[in-house]
Each structure stands twice: as C-alpha cells, then as structure tokens.
Amino acid sequence: MTELHAGNLFWPGTLKNTNQYEPLRQNRKTKVAVIGGGMSGAVCSYVFVRSGLSAIMLDRGRIAGGTTLASTGLVQCSNDIMLTDLIMQIGERDAVVLYKACRDSVNKLASIASGLSHDVELRKRSSLLYASSEQELSKLRHEYETLQAFGFDVEFWSSDDIAARFPFRKPGAIVAHGDAEINPYKFVNTAANDAFRQGLEIYEHTDVTKHETLPNGIHLLQTAEGYVIEAEHVVYAVGYEQDELRGKLIKTNMNRTFVMVTGVQPDLQSWHERFLIWETARPYTYMRTTGDKRVIIGGLDEALGLPVHDERALRARSNTLMLRLQKMFPGLSAPIEYEWSAPFGESRDNLPFIGEDPAWRNVYYCLCYGGNGTVYSMLAAQLLRDRICGETHPLAGIIGLGRRTLVGAE
C-alpha cells in the first residue's frame, strides 16, 4: 500500500464535519462498482448516478483521504505538456481535441460545483504561465500563438505587462482565462454526499482485495472482510495503487513533491486578481491563494516515491518554497502554517490512463496521473459514463490504455 502523504495538511481543517460511511457488511449487486473514493472515484460516481446508473463506491480508507487530500486544487485547461509539444507527440487533431476537452472539463467542474449542496470554493481564475528564463521565451510565445490559433482565451504579457500588475518581473507570460481553483477536499466530500443522497452506495474502510470474472461476464469484487460485490462494470479509481490488483499494468514515474501553505496574509493586494501562477521550468513551482487569503505554493519534485516524514527535512523544503514566494512577493509576510510532501505520479507520455482494459471487458481505469488530475477526473467521468452506456467518446483513443504512445513503453 502506497503512503500517499506526510506532514501537516491544510484541507482537513477546512471541513470539520464530514459524513462517515459504514464499511461494507453484506454482499451487494450493482451496475457499476467504483474502487476508490478520491477525486477520480467521486467525480465518476457522481456523474454515473446523475446519469441514472446504479453505482457503489468503495474506499479502503476515508473518502478524499488519499492523494486528493494532498492536492493544491489548481484546475487548469493547460496540461503539464504544452499544446505545442503534445502536437509533436500525438498530432494536431488529437492534441487540440484533448486541450479543448480539458477546457470544457474546467467548465463542467464549475457547473457541478455550482449545483452542489455546499460551497466547495471553486472560483474562476486566470492563470499566469511565465517563462522561467529568457531562453524559454520563444517557446512560450510559440505556445501562445498555437493556443490562440485554436481559439483558446489567452493573452501574451511582456515583462513590462507583468511588472505593471505584479511585484515581480519575468521575461514574458501566457495569461490563460477561464481556469479555476477549488477546495478538493470539500468538493469530493460534498459531491460524494450529494450523490449518496441520490442513490450512490458508499462504503469506507472497505478494501477490495480480489477481483474475478464469471464466464457470464459478471465481476466479483471481494473485500478484505470477505464480502462480495457483483458488478457489471468495474472502475479502478485507485490513484497511485494501479499495480496492486492488476500486476504491472502501466508504466509510471513516481516522484515526491512538496507543498507549503502560509498563514492568512494581511494584504493580498499585490496579487493581481488572485491569478494561479506557474512557470515553464521543470519541475515547476506553482502558487495560488485561498478564500481566507493564504498562499499555497508547491513544487521541488524529487525522484523518490516516498513522502518525507522528518520534520526538519520537510521544513527545509518549505523554507525554500517560502524564499521563492518572497522573492516574487516581498510584501507577503505571513509565516509557514502547513506543509506536506506526497508521492506524485506521472505517465511517460504525460497523459492519464482512462478507458477500458484492452484485455478485460467492462473493467476500466480512471488513473489521473499528472498535475492536471482534477480536470482528467472530469474527462474520465464523461468518457467512462459514455463507454458504460455503450457509446464511444472522442477521447477514447487518445487517453485510453491501447494508445499508440503507450504501446512499447518501457
């Protein structure tokens, strides 16, 4: 079992009374069983139930207790891989289809959030993607021209444009409109609870340890306690545990990453329109603000899949993040209040793993690797809902498990 975070996390304190769900204590039947109650499982389950499909969602721990709890909640159309690079990798048509689907998914998430029973702090924000060095400027400008040519709502800001709005200067930046920030913990708990009230069965502390398929195609999921769920379709939304039940299914790079959250800032005037800010360097540093005027900053990825427990080692990373923040925003003085580290999975072709198992009928994966996991969860929910209902989604060949860029990956 992968340890999914370590440190003092910010989000649990933002939602005190979460619903608790009983473990599974009887055998059940359903149309769709969703294994995993993080962002991926919850968004899928929510969409399934709203589409009239009967569904059960199971988690071995608590809802939103996995990587989702470590997320920083940036919801962006742009991916870790730039559109220009994605075009080189998978061709113009598919790359643009995926980018447009990401843009639509940001809007879809906003629409779901606005219909939930509680405010989940989804706020529309623009993003500033700045060139980390002069050398990256021409690439960034090319990216801007490509995004603009395909109809994305972007601007290019010169160094002076940036300095006129922020207390820092960078060589240039793409400003993308229509992105968002979210409280991932509130979103997942609320979406799950609302779906529960509309018929979703949820079981926490329910570990799926065995999966068999009968000759008639019915799937049997067995829990650690020995109970069985019969399902026509199974969705693996297990986050970074993809290998556990399926063997070495896919190839991923596991790193660890770091997040620091400041105390409430007395004054955020210098932060132009509370933009989401990130950069072209890899690994990138990224930052956002919160509704209660804190700053969340993350990055410093390291090539190790285990989170850091040692308090002094964690504080050393937080201090580095704080220095980066204060270099850009010298007026922000609130101290470090929360800090954590967490494993972070990336696929070798920078795309998520969403779709049916090529060798196992009606078994699907919703593995939203990469920095855009929240948006990918939304894509997945729609794609898998369509697939379960017998329709083909335009993204199936682009992010599915049989895609060209995965075949032959080491």
Taking the least distance from each CB to ligand FAD, the nearer of 137 and 189 is 189
The runs of H, that is alpha helices, within 199-354 are 243-246, 311-328
Burial 224-234 (b: 16+ CB within 10 A, else e): eeebbbebbbb
Q: How far is the CB of 384 from ligand FAD (least distance, A)?
A: 13
Rounded to the nearest angstrom, the gap between the alpha carbon of residue 87 and the centroid of all alpha carbons in its chain is 22
Helix axis angle for 184-197 and 39-50, nearest 10°, is 30
DSSP letter (8 states) at residue 119: -
Contacts with ligand FAD, residue ranges (CB under 6 A): 4, 35-41, 58-61, 65-68, 70-74, 207-208, 237-239, 241, 244, 257, 259, 298, 342, 344, 368, 371-375
Give me the numbers of helices (H) and strands (E) for the chain, helices first please: 10, 18
Nearest to 298 by CA among 79, 126, 73: 73
Q: Which CB sits closer to ligand FAD, 66 or 283?
A: 66
Contact 56/201 with Cβ under 8 angstroms?
A: yes
In terms of CB distance, is 107 or 159 closer to ligand FAD? 107
Q: Do 354 and 379 touch, CB atoms closer than 8 A?
A: yes
Nearer to ligand FAD, 132 or 206 (CB): 206
**Residue 383: CB minimum distance to ligand FAD, A:** 15
Position with the least CB separation from ligand FAD: 373
Residue 332 or 342 having the CB closest to ligand FAD: 342
Output the smallest distance, CB 39 to ligand FAD, in A. 4
Q: Give the nearer residue to ligand FAD in terms of CB position, either 72 or 132.
A: 72
Q: Please report how close the Cβ of residue 313 comes to ligand FAD at its closest, in angstroms.
A: 16
Among residues 118, 121, 127, the alpha carbon closest in space to that of 147 is found at: 127
CB of 368 to ligand FAD, least distance (A): 4
CB of 357 to ligand FAD, least distance (A): 16
